[in-house]
Amino acid sequence: MSDPKPFRKPWLPRRLRKFIGMVAILVFLFLYALIVMRFAVSTNIPESGVKQFFFYLTMGLSWVVPAGAIIYWMERPDTPEG
């Protein structure tokens, strides 16, 4: 079996990472919303209700992956748990 990766202490303490992550998520969501709104207004979104539904569904959920990566980074422990 492979050994788990050794624990590396992060450069930033958890409290500071949470603050930076909170600011990063707020800025990201603000810019993401502006970009999606601009894209939705400027492009020719199909008239079909089903196609519109899936467009807004994918645009509405696609922010979750980058935000999840930021939250994962924020929540890394400062000390090894075990």
Q: What is the pLDDT of residues 28-79, one digit of tens each?
A: 999 999 998 888 888 777 778 888 888 889 989 999 999 999 999 898 877 7
> How many Cβ atoms from other residues are within 10 Å of residue 38's Cβ?
10
Q: How far apart are CA 39 and CA 45, in angstroms?
A: 9
How far is residue 72 from each of residues 21, 22, 25, 66, measured CA to CA in Å? 10, 12, 12, 10
Q: Please tell me whether the overall predicted TM-score, pTM, comes out greater than 0.85 for this model.
A: no
